[in-house]
Amino acid sequence: MELVLASHNKGKLVEIRELVEGYDLDISSAADYDLSEPEETETTFEGNARIKAHYCAKQTGKLSISDDSGLEIAALDGAPGVYTADWAETENGRDFYMAMEKTRVALIGKTAPFLANFTSVLCLAWPDGRDMVFRGEVHGHLEFPPRGKMGFGYDPVFVPEGYTNTFAELPAEVKNKISHRARAFEALLAAKPFE
């Protein structure tokens, strides 16, 4: 079965392929179909995940999956949240090192530890308009300066609960067992939508 990821993010594509390994799924992406990215106009992860998955399913005529995810920082009242990627936007694309520095500056004067959580909401959408939505979270704290070369996004500053390494320092096989996306996928696979 072909499953189209409603994203152009290569890091997400790699991670999702690893998470569904063992299932008879051929994972392609919106980039493979030369699809543009729809405007994310909702204020929740669930709303934006639905926009992306339904757009991709309608355009390709295939079962599609989207992930809307972000970093929520307690000391910043949950920011950046659904605007996580926006904090990294530049004229030349996304720069997450700039975004991590922006985050560090925003936390000046706040008291550590800087509690935070990553949230992932997956939406599985069919071309006929049906969908299923699944949420996963991982809690931890932020540490600066960034450490590690693995992962993507804000991974170099996020330390999950029970660990001393950042997501970017953890091997993929460890991160893929405890991440927000892994937890959302556990919920999705428990619903057995591919059987």
Residue 151 has pLDDT above 80, yes or no: no
Helix (H) or strand (E) holding 161: none
Instruction: State the Cα–Cα distance between residues 149 and 152, nearest whole angstrom.
Output: 8
Q: Rounded to 10 degrees, what is the CA torsion of 171, 53, 84, 99? A: 60
pLDDT digit string, tens, across residues 57-89: 999 999 999 999 999 999 999 999 999 989 999
Which of 68, 77, 128, 155 is flagged as catalytic? Answer: 68
Contact partners, residue 128, CB within 8 Å, separation at least 6: none
pLDDT digit string, tens, across residues 105-120: 999 999 999 999 999 9
pTM value? 0.88
Q: Indicate the average pLDDT of the chain.
A: 92
Instruction: State the Cα–Cα distance between residues 34 and 96, nearest whole angstrom.
Output: 24
Is the torsion defined by CA of 58, 51, 4, 131 positive or negative?
Answer: negative
Confidence of residue 154 (pLDDT cuts 50, 70, 90): very high
Whether 68 is a known active-site residue: answer: yes
- Longest CA span, the chain: 52
How do strand 2-5 and strand 89-90 relate by DSSP bridges?
A: unpaired
